[in-house]
Amino acid sequence: MSLTVKPVEKLTSEVKEYRKAEHSVSPLFLNRWSPRSYSDRKISDDDVYSILEAAHWAPSAFNDQPWRFIVAKTEPQLKIFHEFLNPFNRAWAEKAPVLVLVASSNRRENGDPNEAHAFDSGAAWGYLAIQATLLGLSTHAIGGFDKDKARNLLNIPDDFDLHAVITIGYRGEKEALDKNLQERENPSTRKALKEVVFEGAITS
């Protein structure tokens, strides 16, 4: 059993170079970013299911839990997922040892539309990413994939919306990427908090 949650006490050196919070926040949130380079190191099932366990404890409207996680971790499963990734994303994502397609039901159990399903699934993806970071793993959400092809290949019903494919794995060397991607293999910055937070009402 390899489940080992790493304590998060300080920013990593690469994150410290690119990210600075304006207010006090756990280093965990800044240390989580979305790399594209993965090593060929395998992930234990214990760790995979720890990450999914965290995701499914996310909050949801009426506790409907609309999310579904379709997991690929064997070679045959991964090959199917690679078929519906767009070429740009497949070039780096096919090295990740685990892929997870996040989908969600757009209907409640009584048949009514669930207007919160995408919002709730976004919360689940956030939980997933944070738990992966605690385990020393990296994640990257991919929106560039053929949803119709994925739906057909994975037998996903029409009342489920497809959101993203998540790569999960251990970080690889930046130099393993194409040169155009190496320049982007750094933690991204964020807008100033005042650009996204408004007290009372949105002001210009």
Q: Does residue 39 belong to any structural domain of this protein?
A: yes
The tens digit of pLDDT for each residue in 39-77 reads 999 999 999 999 999 999 999 999 999 999 999 999 999
Q: Report residue 88: phi and psi, to 5°.
A: -60, -45
Q: What is the pTM of this model?
A: 0.93
Which residue, chain included where needed, has tokens 């997991």? Answer: 71
- Predicted confidence at residue 123, as pLDDT, reads 98
Q: Does residue 1 belong to any structural domain of this protein?
A: no
Q: Does residue 78 belong to any structural domain of this protein?
A: yes
Please give the average per-residue pLDDT across 186-190, as a whole number.
96
Q: Does residue 27 belong to any structural domain of this protein?
A: no
Per the model's pLDDT, the better-predicted residue between 7 and 104 turns out to be: 104
Q: Does residue 48 belong to any structural domain of this protein?
A: yes
d(C-alpha 204, C-alpha 202), whole Å: 7
Residue 204: pLDDT over 90: no
Print the domain residue range for 39.
35-172
CB contact set of 19 (below 8 Å; sequence gap of 6+): 11, 30, 187, 189, 190
Q: Does residue 186 belong to any structural domain of this protein?
A: no
Q: How big is the CA angle at 180 (ends 141 and 150), to the nearest 5 degrees?
A: 35
Residue 2: pLDDT over 60: no
Q: Does residue 20 belong to any structural domain of this protein?
A: no
- On whether the CB atoms of residues 140 and 167 are closer than 8 A, the answer is yes
The tens digit of pLDDT for each residue in 109-146 reads 999 999 999 999 999 999 999 999 999 999 999 999 99
Count of alpha carbons within 13 Å of 56, Cβ hemisphere only? Answer: 12
Q: Does residue 98 belong to any structural domain of this protein?
A: yes
Residue 153: pLDDT over 70: yes
Q: How many structural domains does the chain have?
A: 1
CATH for 110: 3.40.109.10
